[in-house]
Amino acid sequence: MSRMTVLSVLDLAPVAQGSDPGQALRNSLDLARHAERLGYRRYWLAEHHNMTGIASAATSVAIGFVAGGTSTIRVGAGGVMLPNHAPLAIAEQFGTLEALYPGRIDLGVGRAPGSDQITARALRRALTGDVDRFPQDVAELQAYFRAAEPGQTVQAVPGAGLDVPLWILGSSTFGAQLAAYMGLPFAFASHFAPAELEAALAFYRQGFRPSAQLDRPYVMLGVNTVAADTDEEARLLFTSVQQAFVNLRSGRPGRLPPPQEGYEAGLEPQARAILSDVLARAVVGGPETVRAGLRAFAQQHGADELMLTSQIFDHAARKRSYEIAAGAMAETSPLPASLRSFAGDDGS
């Protein structure tokens, strides 16, 4: 069969009902170590605010915690919501991370607020953060990572001259077009916004312009993945994320609920529509089901990398899910030589 995708992890640092953010972050480190042993390529955490079910609001702090407790896996942001921050501050934060953990830090950036508008205002104090300035903010961030020039007034220290790979994250065609124009790798949020996936990938691949960072398009796709020893067990575990999405879209966000027998059968039509919209590309099942689902999804869209997110109530079951998924894709072949350095592959 043709070359398949490498696997990575997107961790939303879920806070389960009955638990707390501290335990959620300790679980993240434990999962990252597990993923490192299993051969996952990278481990990303996401910026969300004012959400009691997600513990990674201080994303760069969480990344430092995970990077400090691992040794080889790439660790990064999936992503930093750049309109919430001054580009210089992000350059300094990720420059510091790169200085501490050289060759292991990724920086994915997005233009969504990662919160509601009231929370966005609280984050920014004044509404100077502007999603319409996202392309200029990305360019400014890139500039801070270049080697400082003589007489440069403002420098990122640490940051200037460090190799921190930038990624554009997106859930629409906007991010795809920007990633193509800037010659950056593109990560699409098909784990919660699959509707524009095909259009976004077409824009990205057709419009891609080679850059100093990347000479050809590179696509990573998010996939909700719940794997267990049987299809039935996986479907039960999956009801936690189903409940979480229905609660979120219904204005009732909260901590990750435990699995619920018969949950989907009792849903109202509106809730069913929510799940049909956001979880259309989820891969849920036992080893063979997950193997077939992940491989078909990667091949259909020509993905270079799949980033699996598994919001599972029980931490041991979440670790087992990633173990099964890694086994399902274990027959992948090495990346082409032209992409090994970028992706962090030593070719072995």
For 23-70, what is each residue's pLDDT tens digit? 999 999 999 999 999 999 999 999 999 999 999 999 999 999 999 999
**Of the candidates 92, 104, 186, the residue with the CA atom closest to the CA atom of residue 145:** 92
Place of tokens 């220290």: 157
For residue 347, the model assigns a pLDDT of 36
- Evaluate if residue 214 carries a pLDDT over 60: yes
CATH number assigned to the domain comprising residue 21: 3.20.20.30
Q: Mean pLDDT, the chain, as a whole number? A: 91
DSSP 8-state class, residue 35: H
Task: Give domain status of residue 309, yes or no.
Answer: yes
Cβ–Cβ contacts within 10 Å for residue 29, how many?
18
| pLDDT class of 132 with cuts at 50, 70, 90 | confident
In this structure, the strands spanning 42-45 and 105-110 are unpaired
Task: Give domain status of residue 74, yes or no.
Answer: yes
Task: Give domain status of residue 323, yes or no.
Answer: no
Domain housing 16: 6-221+303-314+330-343
Could you tell me how far CA 304 lies from the centroid of its own chain?
A: 14
Run of H or E including 303: none
What is the spatial distance between Cα 345 and Cα 348, in angstroms, rounded to a whole number? 8
Q: How many domains does the chain have?
A: 1
- Evaluate if residue 345 carries a pLDDT over 50: no
Task: Give domain status of residue 292, yes or no.
Answer: no
Task: Give domain status of residue 104, yes or no.
Answer: yes
What is the spatial distance between Cα 39 and Cα 283, in angstroms, rounded to a whole number? 20
pTM for the full model?
A: 0.91
For residue 1, the model assigns a pLDDT of 29
Place of tokens 């869209």: 301
Q: What is the 3-state secondary structure (H, E, C) of 154-185?
A: CCCCCCCCCCCCEEEEECCHHHHHHHHHHCCC
Decide if 309 contacts 321 (C-beta within 8 A): no
For residue 162, the model assigns a pLDDT of 96
- What integer is the mean pLDDT of 225-246? 98
Question: Lowest mean pLDDT: which of 70-84, 287-301, 332-346?
Answer: 332-346
Task: Give domain status of residue 253, yes or no.
Answer: no
Task: Give domain status of residue 134, yes or no.
Answer: yes
Task: Give domain status of residue 290, yes or no.
Answer: no
Decide if 187 contacts 110 (C-beta within 8 A): no
What is the spatial distance between Cα 191 and Cα 256, in angstroms, rounded to a whole number? 17
- Evaluate if residue 113 carries a pLDDT over 70: no
Run of H or E including 78: strand 74-81
DSSP 8-state class, residue 55: -
